Amino acid sequence: MYLVAIAWAYVALMMAAAEALSPQGTVFGALVTLMLYGVLPLRLLMYILGTPGRKRRRRAAESAAEADAGGHAPAGPAQGLAPEREEA
């Protein structure tokens, strides 16, 4: 996944550099080229390719929340209270 993104970013950067260094090109045109051919498609691609990971993390969080909501008392001292100390 990252190899495709790195390669696409390289190609878009080279296109923007060619636009900026061309006699008819401008720096503004290079920035537009970089945004429209590089940044925006890469963000969309990474969002789409990251969907399975997001689903997996959401399911893991939901299953952890269900396990915690079992109605059992928490282990250890009660919610930040120190145990009472007996004096001799």
Q: Using the predicted structure, report yes or no on whether residue 79 has a pLDDT greater than 70.
A: no
Q: 10-43: per-residue pLDDT in tens?
A: 999 999 999 999 999 999 999 999 999 999 999 9
Task: Determine the angle formed by the axes of helices 40-49 and 51-68, rounding to 10 degrees.
Answer: 50
What's the whole-model pTM score?
0.61
Helix, coil or strand: residue 53:
helix
Confidence of residue 70 (pLDDT cuts 50, 70, 90): low
- Cβ–Cβ < 8 Å for 16, 33: yes
